[in-house]
Structure 1
Amino acid sequence: MVYLTRLEHFNAAHKLYNPGWSKEKNESVFGLCANENWHGHNYDLYVTIKGDPDPDTGFVFDVKRLSEIIREHVIEKLDHKNLNMDVDFMRDKMCSTENLAIAIWQQLVPHLPAGVQLHGIKLYETPRIYVEYFG
């Protein structure tokens, strides 16, 4: 089994805010991330797939095609968007980095061909904060 990772990048705004809580509780739990005027991040997205190399190409999967899948189904929907308002697959979800990683996984899985498995999503919100999701 070989693991192959593609790095992509996007910028997006969001707000962490639970509508069932008071403004004070949201600010207490989420701090500046509950800012009414939103805030943004420069996200780095690592998508790792796994499989056996094709005997004819030596590839687990064509990285150009992997990049196209990620761009079409994830990056184009997220880049320079408001995660809370503009992204259909984040609608009605708390827009945490954890939930975003899960949603990205769900966007990619249906588009990978037989024999190629999604192994993990690593999503950096900042250089010091990231989440990993393995399905």
Structure 2
Amino acid sequence: MVYLTRQEHFNAAHKLYNPNWSKEKNEAVFGVCANENWHGHNYDLFVTIKGNPDPETGFLYDVKKLSQLIKTKVIDKLDHKNLNLDVDFMLGKMCSTENLAIAIWEQLQPHLPENVQLHCIKLYETARIYVEYFGE
């Protein structure tokens, strides 16, 4: 089994805010992330796939195709967007990094060929905070 990782980057704004809670409770739970005027992050995304290399090409999956898939299904939809308002696959969800990683998985998984499995989405919100999702 071979693991192949592609790194991408995007910038996006969001707000963590539960509309069922008071402003005070949102601020107590989410702190500055509940800012009414939003805030942003410079996200780093690592998409890891796994499988066996093709005997004819030696590739697990063409990295150009993987890059294009990530770009069209994820980056183009997220980069310089408001996650709460502009991203169809995040509408109605709490826009935490955890939920964003799951949603990115859901955007990519159906578009990979049968012989390639999505292994991990690793999403850095900051240099010191990241989430890993393994599709479980």
Output the TM-score relative to the length of structure 2. 0.99
Please give the alpha-carbon distance, in whole angstroms, between the structure 2 residues aligned to 1:31 and 1:83.
18
Question: Which residue identity does 1:114 align to in structure 2?
Answer: E
Give the superposition deviation at 1:114.
1.4
Aligned pairs (5 A) from 1:50-89: 50-89=50-89
Question: Which residue identity does 1:66 align to in structure 2?
Answer: L
Task: Let me know the Cα RMSD of the aligned residues.
Answer: 0.3
Q: Provide the residue aligned with 1:24 in structure 2.
A: 24
Please give the alpha-carbon distance, in whole angstroms, between the structure 1 residues aligned to 2:8 and 2:112.
17
Please give the alpha-carbon distance, in whole angstroms, between the structure 1 residues aligned to 2:72 and 2:112.
13
Please give the alpha-carbon distance, in whole angstroms, between the structure 1 residues aligned to 2:11 and 2:57.
34
Q: Could you list the per-position Cα deviations for residues 77-110 of structure 1 after superposition, in whole angstroms to 9, with x for gaps in the alignment?
A: 0000000000000000000000000000000011
Give the superposition deviation at 1:38.
0.1
Unpaired runs of at least 5, structure 2: none
Question: Which residue identity does 1:111 align to in structure 2?
Answer: H
SS in 2 for 1:98: helix
Q: Provide the residue aligned with 1:90 in structure 2.
A: 90
Please give the alpha-carbon distance, in whole angstroms, between the structure 1 residues aligned to 2:125 and 2:106.
19
Q: Provide the residue aligned with 2:112 in structure 1.
A: 112
Q: Provide the residue aligned with 2:124 in structure 1.
A: 124
Q: Provide the residue aligned with 2:45 in structure 1.
A: 45
Superposition misfits of 4+ residues, deviation over 4 angstroms: none
- Give identity over the alignment, percent: 81
Unpaired runs of at least 5, structure 1: none
